A and B are shown apart, each in its own frame.
Chain A
Amino acid sequence: MNFKQYILVCGGTGCESSKSDEIYRNLLSAAESKDVKSDVQILKTGCFGLCEKGPIVKVLPDESFYVHVKPEDATEIIEEHVIKGREVKRLLYDTSDSKANKAMENLDFYQKQFRIVLRNCGVINPEDIDEYIARDGYAALSKVLSEMTPDDVIAELKISGLRGRGGAGFPTWLKWNLTKEVESDQKYVVCNADEGDPGAYMDRSTLEGDPHSLIEAMAIAAYTIGADYGYIYIRAEYPLAINRLKIAMEQARGYGLLGKDILGSGFNFDLEIRLGAGAFVCGEETALIASLEGERGMPRPRPPFPSVKGVFGKPTVINNVETWANVPVILHKGGKWFASIGTEDSKGTKVFALTGKINNSGLVEVPMGTTLREIVYDIGGGIKDGKKFKAVQTGGPSGGVITADYIDTPIDYASLQKLGSIMGSGGMIIMDEDDCMVDVAKFYLDFTVDESCGKCAPCRVGGKTMLHLLEGITKGKGTMDDIEKMKKIALGMSKASLCGLGQTAPNPVLSTLRYFEDEYLAHIQEKRCPAGKCKDLTVYEIISDKCIGCGLCARRCPVSCISGEKRQPHVIDQEKCIKCGECYSVCKFEAVSKK
């Protein structure tokens, strides 16, 4: 048996609710009645994303992408496409509104994603250098070593408009050039792979999926700035990534792509792995350098900048994994090609770890300028369990929340900053109506307080004090003065802290205060948590009309505070209740209320 065509019907929850099941059955019966059952296989698939355009039907091998398909379209798809081999034009997806498409005029694709950094992830075997080479791997390095001067490389990077992907967005060409211009007997290149944002894993995936792109990029940078040695500073918590990097470095050495006289050019370069040990502050360049030197990872005042005085006091270029992974593509395809993707001030793509209350959690790479709506709905497939979108958090502990009102904001460095968040390293956490914003702010602040190195007082004392206030609010002990106090502390921290950790630590608090002040007020004035997340403010009660007295909750209650006669409504003793929520989750009759 061999089918000529395959019709894929999206079975994602969004499409399902708009009758994809009926489409599927209609296609089956149309294929039967037209007697083409043996020519075409009709299947249900996982979510395609693009749920707002659903239901979606895709036909292979033609790659025809039909949107807004209705059950009555089934016959036409079978008659026209399958039998006559003609696409049903009116159902085809109009690709002209896709950002990535606009960047590349003569190209036609419906996907919202565009993969530069992740080009090889999920495609090559990361433990086989030959597969990387077959996909233009080390072609950029060859070109740089044989045809380009260091100034040429800088010029190409400048044209590309690449900016650092670790958070602040500093132009990469400028960073490299600063180090290149310094006279020194020894210089270093460093990869920051200490992905510390809790909720981000794009660097791990890149390292695990495409380790050679990092090695190639670092060699190019070393040649450009005049270094012959590099360090990869990576989280010890990523054993698989470390292992794949080691294998990649060994294979590169075997081919002479690391070591002495690389590709016969006379250029020497080698790399070493240094392990981090779980300190978020080491994402800060100067703290990372201290850690790499075997010290406590405490930041140092700048200037001097690492470009002048970095690792072991030598000029050093530090970039994060995602920034590095862009470099070989830019030099292979040209800075102009890269600059054609994205927006005016933000070129290229950005990888996000899309997680939280989203249907299709995943690693997504989109052209800069893509809107949050496109990411959440077209790629992410919307919010889990049909709940309401509340906010998206970007930038991790240094970032903030963006609410539904701003979901059409294009993603670039400036737009996110204007909304009180940042691009950050790429964590994108979706929150729904069940998430309490005060609790989220507390979560992030708890994190930064724990991670503060304690060197400077604004961060050490300010963070702790602010956390104390937040804890009070979530316990119903907050006062209206607390909000003003927090704002004052936040200002002090952001102005006076020594490094980025302290300067940005108040952001999650400020941002949630800005958009969800009503939730703070509910906690303070009404002693109520609207999302029902803050335990001290939650009250569980049994609705006597609904309770049938089965006694299940009473048996499951860990502190035995539920009582009642058999087949009679039960009661919770509020004095003893520890608010674990067990009764609420076990009751089969929705007879327990949570307020």
Chain B
Amino acid sequence: MGKLTLEELKKLRESKQKEMSLRDTSDKNVHIIIGMGTCGIAAGAKDAYSAFVDELAAHNLGNVTVKQTGCMGLCHAEPTVEVIMPEMPRIIYGNVNAQVARDIVRKHVLGKILVNDHVFDRPAIDIVEGGGN
């Protein structure tokens, strides 16, 4: 896409928002989001990232996207990972090493069971998606 006008920016925003709310029904309906700021990477986020990719490939899970994000602020629990998928609450996992990453794929994504001892709480409400208005 080239340079945007006001109108085009608005349309782009609407279509992207729609895309995100359609997460449940599109063919890529599971999202694994890894905190990859400097701290996260120092704590081993890259190992977790490749473990996710490996394990997803091993189970032929084409409906899952793995992507990076910035720091979630839970420095004591790095690396941190959020999992968003249909019929499951949004969950933030902490202290995710390669083994825990594999567990998340097997238990959470495939078995729909949360992984014990690694669930952390969201630190704040989201002011963009409706909170705080």
Contacts and interface: CB of A to CB of B under 8 A. Distances in A.
Given A263-B9, A362-B75, A208 B128 contact: no
Contact of A138 (B9, B33, B74): B9
Tell me if B's interface is mostly helix, strand, loop or mixed. Answer: loop
Contacts of A139: 13
Contacts of B58: none
A131 interface: yes
Tell me if A's interface is mostly helix, strand, loop or mixed. Answer: loop
B41 A135 contact: no
How many interface residues does chain A have, given as a range?
A: 35 or more
Interface string A289-307: 0000000000000000000
Nearest to B3: A256
A41 B113 contact: yes
Contact of A43 (B16, B38, B117, B125): B117
A125 B20 CA distance: 13
Contacts of B9: 133, 138, 142, 255, 257, 263
Nearest to A259: B3
Interface in B101-133: 111-129, 131-133
A469 interface: no
Interface residues of B, number: 59
Contact of A134 (B17, B114, B119, B132): B17
Contacts of A163: none
A407 B59 CA distance: 52
B71 A109 contact: no
Given A123-B128, A136-B128, A209-B69, 19 more contacts: A6-B89, A11-B117, A43-B116, A43-B119, A107-B132, A111-B124, A115-B127, A121-B70, A122-B71, A123-B126, A127-B68, A130-B16, A134-B20, A204-B38, A240-B38, A255-B3, A255-B4, A355-B75, A362-B123
5 contacts: A104-B132, A107-B132, A109-B131, A137-B13, A138-B9
Interface of B: 1-6, 9-10, 12-13, 16-17, 19-20, 33, 35, 37-39, 41, 67-77, 80, 82, 87, 89, 94-95, 111-129, 131-133
Interface of A: 1-3, 6, 8, 11, 41, 43-49, 58, 60-61, 104, 107, 109, 111, 113-116, 118-127, 130-131, 133-139, 142, 145-146, 201, 204-205, 208-210, 238, 240-241, 254-257, 259, 261, 263-265, 329, 333, 337, 355, 359-365, 379
